Structure 1
Amino acid sequence: MTLRSESADRVAVITGADSGIGRATAARLARQGMDIGITWHSDREGAEETAAEVRSLGRRAELEQMDLTRLPEATEAVDRLADRLGRLDVLVNNAGTGTATPYLDIDHATVRQVLDVDLVGPFLCGQLAARRMIAQGDGGRIINVTSVHEHQPRVGAAPYCAAKGGLGLLTQVMALELAEHGIRVNAVAPGEIATPMTGQHDTDVHEEERPGIPLGRPGDAREVAAVIGFLAGEDSAYVTGASWAVDGGMLRMGPMAGSHLESHSWRRP
């Protein structure tokens, strides 16, 4: 297997890159010298804005619509982007959805939708990416964006937690099976990040108070993108099968405490 140098042109495909963590990741990987494939579900305008930012950094950007409730055909967007950009070195499975519905009230259709978008879709996209990377012969990176709920539960998020927990363990199996091909597979598990998905638009995270999070604030999407950038680069060449929490210490408290405590009294014995 011939290893590709960090300075050579590389291509990353990022699902759900029309806003939030996906957009921040696109910009981060473009700054690292990669051309970027962008998928979007319903926000084409947002995807175009991401592409414009990538191009302003001197890199190529291509777009594809992807609806992961339409499987398996939706995942073909990964192949189409790789075809147009010439290859595929990094896949970031970032697209996701969730619910805020009690376990006893949730319907089958919603469960199926969340599992398809958050687990089955990344499973199939990862297969397409890995097969292409193996054919190229010089390895690659797959990064699955999970959540702190890969590790700990949250009330009202049963299918989301099931999907993210499954994606975390899938990441470990992928890492074991793909290592011989030089493909490293890791998960990134964000806590509360100020993005449209969490209802926080243009939020200055340093002005927000979160008593139940040890660092005392939500995270910025660029802070998650920085960890993804590390995992996508050569500095992480000996890292595979790991889950990287980017959560301000939330997992040390438990996500329920991290988002619901209203004072800092826990900091004192």
Structure 2
Amino acid sequence: MDQQRTAVVTGADSGIGRATAVRLAEMGMDVGITWNSDQEGAEETAGEVRALGRRAEIEHMDLSLLPEAAAAIDALGDRLGRLDALVNNAGTGTSTPFLDLHHEAVRTVIDIDLIGPFLCSQRAARRMIAQGDGGRIVNVTSVHEHQPRVGAAPYCAAKGGLGLLTQVMALELAEHGINVNAVAPGEIATPMTGNEGADVTEHRRPGVPLGRPGDAREVAAVVAFLVGPDGSYVTGASWPVDGGMLRMGPQAGSHLESDSWRRP
């Protein structure tokens, strides 16, 4: 009899994390959910997972408290019975000029956005290797894994580092049947961007080729592909989900207010 597949999604109390947890449940997976400051949101996510007939477990995890926080991965793996996929989604950022940054703020962003996923992935990979039948790890980075943003020095450094860490993990874990990829969202309608639950078709973004922000479910769909059977020969890649923003090169930016770039 096949084992029930399970996943842990960090930061799944809202936004991309919640959408991903629900999408994986729709695929038939039991889901572990971590939260930092919004336990009620995590319970709501768990309720959506359970409404789909799948198990849900929640665990508090504050990635600013390392290395202890990563123990949440093992706690959820124990309660779920196994661990087939880890989605490192929890993250934070800053909007502070480079010269005004303080060490503590930089260290917090690097811990949450880079060191935390590193330690969580180690724990998940060790469990997957012990199980003996492979697994999937997906790191949610950002378009700023690939391109800089003014005022986001530690965020860009962490996401760029997580992107390259993804590639190293993919090489080293391939012999164990563990596929590792990154998903790099652009502007998505989430609490982090201040517009969770918005109808994305009603928000113009002239600086994005598709002309709007993304919906969290559109990111979740790509994560689900990478976690599911159709992503079995994909590893070490970064998948932008950004409405084409990165293709804009030096013109890129959701802040643009005009469509004038569309004409030569």
Task: Give the TM-score, by structure 1 length.
Answer: 0.96
Deviation at 1:202, TM superposition (A): 1.8
1:132 is aligned to 127
User: 2:148 aligned to 146, 149, 153, which one?
Assistant: 153
Q: Which residue of 1 aligns with 2:98?
A: 103
- Which of the residues 160, 175, 186 maps onto 2:181? 186
Instruction: Choose which of 69, 79, 103 in structure 2 pairs with 1:84.
Output: 79
Question: What is the distance in 1 between the residues matched to 2:75 and 2:258?
Answer: 50
Is 2:164 the partner of 1:173? no
Q: Against the structure 1 CA distance between its residues 181 and 195, is the aligned structure 2 distance closer, same or farther, given a 3 Å change threshold?
A: same
State the partner residue of 1:62: 57
2:31 is the counterpart of 1:36: yes
Cα-to-partner distance string for 1:203-249 (whole Å, 9 max, x where unaligned): 00011100000000000000000000000001111000000000000
1:165-221 per-residue CA deviation (whole Å, 9 max, x = no partner) reads 000000000000000000000000000000001000320001110000000000000
Take 1:256 and 1:67, find their aligned partners in 2: how far apart are those partners? Answer: 36
2: CA distance, partners of 1:66 / 1:59:
22
One-letter code aligned to 1:188: V
Q: CA deviation at 1:259?
A: 1.6
Query: What displacement does 1:255 show?
Result: 7.7
Q: Alignment partner of 1:194: what SS?
A: coil
Distance in 1 between the 2:251 and 2:142 partners? 13
The runs of 5 or more residues in structure 1 that have no matched partner are none
Number of aligned residues? 264
Task: Please give the per-residue CA displacement for 1:71-118, whole angstroms capped at 9, x wherever unaligned.
Answer: 011000000000000000000000000000000001000000000000
Structure 2 matches for 1:242-261, cutoff 5 A?
242-254=237-249, 257-261=252-256
Q: 2:109 aligns with which of 110, 114, 117?
A: 114
Partner of 1:232 in structure 2?
227
Secondary structure class of the residue paired with 2:254: helix
Counterpart-to-counterpart distance in 1, 2:256 and 2:137:
35
Classify 1:64/1:256 alpha carbon distance in 2 versus 1 (closer, same or farther; 3 Å): farther
Distance 1:76 1:161 in 2: 26
Q: Is the Cα–Cα contact under 8 Å of residues 182 and 239 in structure 2 kept in the other structure?
A: yes
Equivalent position amino acid for 2:216 in 1 = A
Q: Which string of whole-angstrom CA distances, capped at 9 and with x for unpartnered residues, describes residues 23-62 of structure 1? A: 0000000000000000000000000000000000000000
TM-score, with length taken from structure 2? 0.98
Deviation at 1:256, TM superposition (A): 6.6
Aligned equivalents of 2:18, 2:250: Cα separation in 1: 25
State the percentage of identical aligned residues: 79
Structure 2 residue runs without a partner (length 5+): none
Contact preservation (8 Å) 1:75, 1:125: yes
Deviation at 1:257, TM superposition (A): 3.2
Q: For the Cα contact (< 8 Å) 2:135–2:178, is it kept in 1?
A: yes
The residue that corresponds to 2:48 in the other structure is: 53
The CA deviation at 1:9 is 1.4
CA distance in 2, matches of 1:143, 1:37: 15
For 2:252 and 2:71, the matched residues in 1 are separated by: 40
Whole-angstrom distance in 1 between the partners of 2:115 and 2:17 = 19
- RMSD of the alignment, in Å? 1.1
Checking the alignment, whether the CA contact within 8 Å between 2:61 and 2:72 is kept in structure 1 is yes
